[in-house]
Structure 1
Amino acid sequence: MLTFKDYTMDQLQLPLSFEDFIPENHLVRVVNTIVDSLDLSPLYDRYKQGGCPAYHPRMMLKVMIYSYSQKTYSSRMIAKALRENINFMWIAGGNKPDFRTINRFRLQMKDIIEDIFYEVVKLLIDKKYIKLQNYFLDGTKIEANANKYSFVWNKSVRNYDRKLDEKIKAHLREIDQIVAEENQIYLEEDLEEKGEHTRITAEQVAAVVESIDKKLEREPENKPLKKKAREFKKDILPRKKKYEKSLETFEGRNSYSKTDHDATFMRMKEDAMLNGQLKPGYNIQIGTEKRYIVGFTIHPNPTDTTTMIPHLQHLKEKLGRFPENIVADAGYGSEENYEYLEEKQLGNYVKYNKFHWEKRRKNRENPYLPEHLPYNKERDCFLCRNGKHLEHVGDRKYVTDAGYETRRDYYRCEDCGGCPYAGECKNSDKPKTIRISHRLNELKRKANENLCSEKGLELRSQRVVEVEQTFGRIKGCWSFRRFLLRGKEKVKIEWGLLSIAHNITKMALEG
């Protein structure tokens, strides 16, 4: 005779509380405890009195953080989990906001997500999880929610704008009377004589249209003038406004996406087609300690070099102090960054681009490299292997995008004729010339001493584990490789929730 366990669908069973089904040390309980301990007054200030009561913001924040820790990012999937998942039901207290309410709440966190994130970081510091001692800085590129074929290139827009200016000048020359009135602005030869920029603005084109309209009031039967007026109004002026708007959108970048103006086209590590195709994305910079995310910033530029200073300034603004030591790879090793670390008296464990290259034996023993040439400080010259002097022949100043001014000095050999080492020393028939930055070399020497010290070796070995594991969890384990929201401010919301979820998850694992 067959026997089975009792199966009665309409039978009431105990316990009746969701909490009884959740293990004592479950992540959802940790999220609940941590969020209850946070000061959420900035979040409460977003609400106004009167009207229909809103869902409790503390409950909504708990749901958002827990959902991101469970790889649930879509508002529709979160709403579904609130109806079907016991953990979600318990932390929401049985509330079931729909996907519109969830998405609206997420967007309302635009100005306060960083405040909430740094509240969690301060909690980590208070509970001795982190000491703000060794700060491991690195970045990753994450694809934006934008069409990958919606690119706009800075160089192309400037080229189209230049050709349009030439077309405008050609039209103005055909309209003799208009050219006569406006020649102080538009005639190419007058502008060149004054040494002024020849670019024509939309405001100036609008003034031309107004002048043509006035002429047409006096000469309504002038068909050539009417034709020019139509072309200016329907083609030239709209295009000029479009180009000006694009140039404003670039903000120093080389490109942007039409579907997300804050996203820049950059190379991604995730290259399924293996063709190096550029994709719209954001450069996410994070700093970690003991694999906790201590700070983050979102940048539109693909290079890491220019992100260090604004990132550290932002961290100081939020936490009130800098970490003791900064550890980063060669992507951050620049004169400007080294000067900043020295000025703020921070431990410099940042590699420079030739750090490992210099350690190779063939480069370490190469007597022809500028770094190995003896330098006479009093005479300001170098001495080559053949005993000839490389005299100072000039210098050149450079200014970075951030306004930092640096200098490069040039030295040229007094006589390379008949030198037995010329074939190994240089690649041309011209006298050997080298370019040197004495200040950068001094800063690199100090950085090299730190990196090769006992502490530097330890921090260098930790750096790979620290940041890469953090990115590995978010991009690999949690499968977050593309943002759902558009715009830098909304992207900051998503990354802020991910960072909070990561930190709380790690706290739960450590107990």
Structure 2
Amino acid sequence: MARYRPVDTQPKLIPIDLAAQLLPGTFEHALQHLLEQAIDLTPFDARYRNDTTGAPAYAPAMLLRVVLFAYSRGIVSSRAMARACEEQVTFIALSGDSRPHFTTIAHFVRTLGEQIAPIFAAVLAVCERQGLIGREMFAIDGVKLPSNASKHRSGTRADFERQASKMEQAAEAMLARHRAEDARPVEPTLHAKDAARVEQLLADAAQLRSWLTQHPTDRRGPTGAVRKSNRTDNDSAKMATSKGVIQGFTGVAAVDAAHQIIVEAQAHGTGAEQELLLPVVEATAALRTSETLITADAGYHSEANLRALAEGGVPALIADNGLRQRDARFATQGRYTALPNPLHDKSRPAKKPSEVFSPADFRYDPVARTCVCPAGKSLYRKGATNITRGHIAEHFRGAQRDCGPCPLRRQCLRTPDTTPVRNVAFFRDRVGRTVNYSALMRERIDTEAGRAQYAQRLATVEPVFANLRANKRLDRFTLRGRTKVDTQWKLYCLVHNIEKLAKSGYAV
């Protein structure tokens, strides 16, 4: 009968060379080399006042290594990080077997604040020395993620006032009812369950009143419109996604097309992407050249953004909502919207056919400034220039001799029995606008070269978000406040950039 050596899986005390666990070419080796030799972390010394008294502190480089490596493995919880520093060899090697407590790790991440920006810039400088930043195109896009906030606690100050009043009225009604019952000698006093309910209502109402006192004004957007506040995290925002409405932040990234290096990362508590474009473009000014192309999807398209980019001399291709409708390559996309989708019904209700001729049925020549109706009759132009609701338009009117006996009269007029002739208007531009930047952008992006350049955007930025969300399991922000969430977003983007460095052969 065959005999085999025993396999002993019991715990052993084995000497381990911790430095040998960080193999060249791996993420952890590149991370160790960066934080020990390439990045200056002396600004962290200002955090501590233990030169002569107090216990020695954990080294910021060690804590940063642990956090970044944990994020690269999809570990977000500080408790899980602390446990990994006791159980997993790679974590033990990166931490030098120092076993930091989970509260130490959580406090370090929570208080990083503005100190993460110089580290992010230092890693970019290393990427540039390695030749990973091409500066030919920066693709900008964002991802909406839920945060550590409840969307049920969102609303305006008026909403919160009404909620507090309803709670107080409900508590008062319950108390009044029980006072009336207590007046009867056979009825018991206020039940414990009802008393707890009244106490909870009054406590919630008091909390609402306190929040309203601490926040005397509503949140407002760039245009001054009132935005909903949130009592859990007032920096977060309620935003619509393909999977429903969430309460969270938008993580924006600008990605270089050469090797998909994230050159700028910001987190904002708004779902309106239009107002996020210019801050990211301005933040990349030091990295861009005069020929660096900025690309972004239709969510970032607005006349104000295009004007600012044009006036700043920034080359850009920003799509508009009608880009695919004008592109012959998407002529057959309608057949896919008809397919059933359990998550989202992409089909649109069929438009009701117009009962009368629309302006599109008239032949309008903007050069000759003439108009011919569907019956083949020329219309009179009314004035040189007409302004309707802030738009410059050309108005045309049919002649009585043509419209009166016309056989298409009932197809042309909504009330043919009372309306003598047809009027039609063609709009050209807004009042006071000298340059239509949206039209200029459409002309540029609809060219063969423009479409080819814009097509690179998808392959540049989307794989980055796929890596962060799927591989790194970033499905939500775990902190509160824009500063802390922005720090966490930059940490994840740092992980992505360091991975690129490791795969390029850095520190091998």
TM-based fold match above 0.5: yes
1:318-355 alpha-carbon deviations (Å, 9 max, x no partner): 75877711111112221111111111211121112222
Tell me how large the CA RMSD over aligned residues is. 3.9
Q: Match of 2:26? A: 26
Structure 2 length normalisation: TM-score? 0.71
CA shift, 1:440, in A, is: 8.4
Greater CA deviation, 297-306 or 16-25? Answer: 16-25
Q: Match of 2:502? A: 508
Map 1:100-179 onto structure 2 (within 5 A): 100-153=103-156, 156=159
Partners of 1:335 and 1:440 within 8 A in 2: no
CA shift, 1:302, in A, is: 1.1
Secondary structure of the corresponding residue to residue 146 of structure 1: coil
How has the CA–CA distance of structure 1 residues 416 and 292 changed in structure 2, closer, same or farther, with 3 Å as cutoff? farther
Measure, in 2, the Cα distance between the counterparts of 1:57 and 1:6.
44
Secondary structure of the corresponding residue to residue 394 of structure 1: strand
Secondary structure of the corresponding residue to residue 130 of structure 1: coil
Partners of 1:390 and 1:411 within 8 A in 2: no
1:450-485 alpha-carbon deviations (Å, 9 max, x no partner): 323454233222211221111111112222111111
How has the CA–CA distance of structure 1 residues 238 and 16 changed in structure 2, closer, same or farther, with 3 Å as cutoff? closer
Map 1:260-279 onto structure 2 (within 5 A): 260-269=233-242, 271=243, 276=244, 278-279=245-246
Q: Match of 1:431? A: 423
Identity %: 23
How has the CA–CA distance of structure 1 residues 239 and 20 changed in structure 2, closer, same or farther, with 3 Å as cutoff? closer
2:324 to 356, 367, 374: 356
Map 1:485-496 onto structure 2 (within 5 A): 485-496=479-490
Partners of 1:31 and 1:62 within 8 A in 2: yes
Is residue 448 of structure 1 aligned with residue 450 of structure 2? no
The answer for unaligned runs of 5 or more in structure 1 is 165-235, 397-407
Letter in 2 for 1:329: D
Is residue 393 of structure 1 aligned with residue 396 of structure 2? no
The answer for unaligned runs of 5 or more in structure 2 is 167-204, 332-356
Measure, in 2, the Cα distance between the counterparts of 1:112 and 1:39.
11
How has the CA–CA distance of structure 1 residues 353 and 33 changed in structure 2, closer, same or farther, with 3 Å as cutoff? same
CA shift, 1:368, in A, is: 4.6
Measure, in 2, the Cα distance between the counterparts of 1:16 and 1:491.
37
2:456 to 456, 462, 467: 462
1:190-230 alpha-carbon deviations (Å, 9 max, x no partner): xxxxxxxxxxxxxxxxxxxxxxxxxxxxxxxxxxxxxxxxx
Partners of 1:368 and 1:425 within 8 A in 2: no
CA shift, 1:99, in A, is: 0.2
Map 1:195-206 onto structure 2 (within 5 A): none
Measure, in 1, the Cα distance between the counterparts of 2:472 and 2:424.
55
Letter in 2 for 1:393: N
Partners of 1:288 and 1:295 within 8 A in 2: yes
Measure, in 1, the Cα distance between the counterparts of 2:160 and 2:56.
50
Is residue 287 of structure 1 aligned with residue 254 of structure 2? yes
Is residue 340 of structure 1 aligned with residue 313 of structure 2? no
Is residue 248 of structure 1 aligned with residue 251 of structure 2? no
Moved over 4 A (4+): 6-13, 157-161, 236-247, 318-323, 366-370, 416-430, 438-441
For these two proteins, the number of residue pairs brought into alignment is 415
CA shift, 1:259, in A, is: 1.0
How has the CA–CA distance of structure 1 residues 153 and 374 changed in structure 2, closer, same or farther, with 3 Å as cutoff? farther
CA shift, 1:268, in A, is: 2.4
How has the CA–CA distance of structure 1 residues 478 and 160 changed in structure 2, closer, same or farther, with 3 Å as cutoff? closer
CA shift, 1:255, in A, is: 1.5
Structure 1 length normalisation: TM-score? 0.71
Greater CA deviation, 53-62 or 350-359? Answer: 350-359
Secondary structure of the corresponding residue to residue 43 of structure 2: helix
Secondary structure of the corresponding residue to residue 384 of structure 1: strand
1:355-376 alpha-carbon deviations (Å, 9 max, x no partner): 2334468xxxx99559x95446
How has the CA–CA distance of structure 1 residues 490 and 6 changed in structure 2, closer, same or farther, with 3 Å as cutoff? same
Letter in 2 for 1:42: P
CA shift, 1:238, in A, is: 10
CA shift, 1:308, in A, is: 0.8
CA shift, 1:384, in A, is: 3.1
Secondary structure of the corresponding residue to residue 473 of structure 1: helix
Measure, in 1, the Cα distance between the counterparts of 2:414 and 2:503.
59
Greater CA deviation, 422-431 or 106-115? Answer: 422-431
Letter in 2 for 1:413: H
Measure, in 1, the Cα distance between the counterparts of 2:279 and 2:371.
41
Partners of 1:249 and 1:261 within 8 A in 2: no
